[in-house]
Structure 1
Amino acid sequence: MTDNNTGLPLTTHLRELRKRLIICFIATAIGFSISYYCSDRLYDILTAPLVPALPPDAGYLVFTGVAEPFFIYFKAGLLGGVVLASPVILYEIWAFAAPGLYAKERVWFAAIVLASLALFAAGVVFAYFIVFPFAFKYLLSFSTAGLRPMISMSGYFSLAAWLLFAFGAVFQLPLAMLVLSMIGVAGARQFIRWWRYAVVVILIAAAVLTPTPDVFNQMLMAGPLIVLYAMGVVLAAIFGKKKDAMEL
């Protein structure tokens, strides 16, 4: 621990935490105010992958409640507000945690946070530009002359938000493997030994998280995850503990 953080009472830490949380809340509120003003545009961006897949005579979304559009735009604005405020939020987390870390730990903490953000963004971009168009085209291919889609705003928003978050989360795989190797839980040798089990788990996760039952769309998710697993093995071999991790 650094000298300026040694022996500080708990109340001091709580006051500091309260200060950081208030700043994060204010930043999110400002971001929300900006995003809500453009919430209709944000929703248009979110629905852009869906619209081309809709039948010509059903190329729009519907709402089934009087207040549904308001709440959807509110959620879109809140989501955009968190994104806009994320630099401030991340800085406040850093400012709160950094005094209690050694210099080397600060470097690793910053690197892990930045890598996590990059991987999450990569997962979101992959889902939006690759998975969404194929998945929605497949799902809406069941439309017939007597069976037309009537997709609600809330239903689509919930599905899209869940998928974006899910892909962003699963793209953290190599980072999680790196952390496990750094703390000695598992090393590159263990990850290589477990690759068959990893592939099975990845295929199951792809089947659960992908909204379509066809193999093609499931492989759109499973393929990158297998590549990310291999990347995690490489990172564990380079940056993990040099001694063999404990056998599990």
Structure 2
Amino acid sequence: MQADDAPNKNGSNDTVVGSPEQEGVAGFLAHLVELRNRLLKSVLVVLVLFIVLFPLRNDLFTLLADPLSKHMPPGTTMIAVQVASPFFIPLKLTALTALFISIPFLLYQLWAFIAPGLYKHERKLVAPLVFSSTILFYLGAAFAYFAVFPIVFGFLAAAGPSDVNFAPDIGEYLSFVTSLFFAFGFVFEVPVAIVLLVIIGVVTPAKLAEFRRYAILIAFIIAAILTPPDVMSQFMMAIPIILLYEFGLFVSRFFYKAKMARAAALAAQEAEEDAARDAADKDDEVTQRHEAYEQQAASAPLDFDKALDEAEADQRRLEAPSDAPGDPSSSPDAPPPEPPRSELPNSEPTNSEPPEPDAPPKKPGDAG
């Protein structure tokens, strides 16, 4: 079997050391290792809390069943329908309690994993949201235990027929209260959701104010789905949702004003930078023009001196005698110099016929 790092036909590996592909794979593996470590830490914390709370499992169930036990008929207790319920139900409650207590640590591990990949302004935004979400979740669970459970269980115990023995199963009771805990915990996150939607620009406080009537209707629909089928429990959830909606709308106005102020400041800063950039470009253009003028002015005297030297050399050559040594005109084989045009006779003929040549002179002794 051929190894992965075997050289190719050219004698070199396909993947270059330090290439972007290798760096991307190394970064991905590093993130996986970090995620594994943080998951192990989270599981370890939950396991430690479970071990610590395990001896108190029955006490935890007694505390959880207290809102219902106060409204049960005298001498009546909860029942266990299944054989293993007396052991597994407190065990399950202990695990849920350990998970519930470790939520801040779990959120911190999640924050520590994603924080390095965020910008500074994003970290400033996410940290308060995570903290406020945790606090609101605990407030929702506390509201369910101290305010909702007594009213709901009192209503359910009194609404049944008198000849019916009200003795709920411990497994059903744990599932019921657990669902209410998480339902109210998530419902109390409404302000955080509203503020987050305003910050990221999905909605504005004005739009949320216009949506108020629909929000009230949605609050009652959610309460009807998540709570028992009685009017009292629905109102106990719908009213907090409406109040939290108004609270989130109130807080979102401050964040929206701060966002608009930052946007205006950023726009002004960008305008100043653009103006400064344009001014710098103009200054550079003027500087380049000045430099070009200076170079042209500096090169002009050099051209004038060169032309003057050439003119003086031509003048000396013209004033030099013709028989001067080295003059081409003094050579016997050289053709005679062409006379100046001013010394040439008037060559314009009077007619088109050439002039007759002069008669040769007579020699002595010739007959007349």
What's the TM-score, normalizing by structure 1?
A: 0.89
Please tell me whether residue 232 in structure 1 is matched to residue 278 in structure 2.
Answer: no
Q: Deviations over 1:92-120 (max 9, x none)?
A: 22221121122222222110011001111
Residue aligning to 2:198: 181
Cα distance in structure 1, aligned partners of 2:167 and 2:240: 32
Letter in 1 for 2:233: N
Partner of 1:246: none
Structure with bigger helix share is 1
Q: Name the residue aligned to 2:311.
A: none
Q: Could you tell me how far 1:242 is from its partner in structure 2?
A: 2.9
Q: C-alpha offsets along residues 211-244 of structure 1, whole Å, 9 cap, x if unaligned?
A: 1422x4322222221111111111221113439x
Paired residue type of 1:160: V
Instruction: Report the CA distance shift for 1:132/1:121 in structure 2 as closer, same or farther (over 3 A).
Output: same
Which residue does the alignment assign to 2:208?
Answer: 191
CA distance in 1 between partners of 2:160 and 2:150 (Å): 16
1:33 matches 2:51? yes
Report the Cα distance in structure 2 between the residues aligned to 1:206 and 1:86, rounded to whole angstroms: 25
Partners of 1:39 and 1:74 within 8 A in 2: yes
**What does residue range 185-224 of structure 1 map to in structure 2 within 5 Å?**
185-214=202-231, 216-224=232-240
The question of whether the paired residues in 2 share the 8 Å contact of 1:62 and 1:152 is answered with yes
- Cα distance in 1 for partners of 2:162, 2:206 equals 56
Counterpart residue number, 2:87: 70
Residue in structure 2 matched with residue 12 of structure 1 by the alignment: 30
Q: Give the secondary-structure state (helix, strand or coil) at the position aligned to 1:56.
A: coil
1:114 aligns with 2:131: yes
How many angstroms apart in 2 are the aligned matches of 1:83 and 1:209? 20
CA distance in 2 between partners of 1:84 and 1:226 (Å): 28
Query: Which consecutive segments of 4 or more residues in structure 1 shift more than 6 A?
Result: none
Distance 1:84 1:217, change over 3 A: closer
Q: Contact 1:63–1:69 (CA<8 Å) still a contact in 2?
A: yes
For the pair shown, which has the larger CA radius of gyration, 1 or 2? Answer: 2
In the alignment, which residue of structure 2 is the partner of 1:3? none
Higher RCO (CA 8 Å, separation ≥ 6 residues): 1
8 A contact 2:103–2:134 mirrored in 1: no
Contact 1:135 1:212 in 2 (8 A): no
On the 8 A contact 2:68/2:153 being kept in 1, the answer is yes
CA contact (8 A) 2:136 2:185 kept: yes
Equivalence map 1:129-140=2 (5 Å): 129-140=146-157
Unpaired segments ≥5 residues, structure 2: 1-22, 262-368
Distance, in Å, in 2 between the alignment partners of 1:187 and 1:43 is 45
Q: How many residues align?
A: 236
Q: Would you say the 8 A contact 1:36–1:76 is kept in 2? A: no
| Cα-Cα RMSD | 1.8
Amino acid at match of 2:27: P
The answer for the alignment partner of 2:182 in structure 1 is 165
Q: Deviations over 1:163-213 (max 9, x none)?
A: 011000111111101111111111101100111100001111122222142
Q: Is 2:74 the partner of 1:48?
A: no
Following the alignment from structure 1 to structure 2, what is the Cα–Cα distance between the partners of residues 145 and 139? 12
TM-score, normalised on structure 2? 0.61
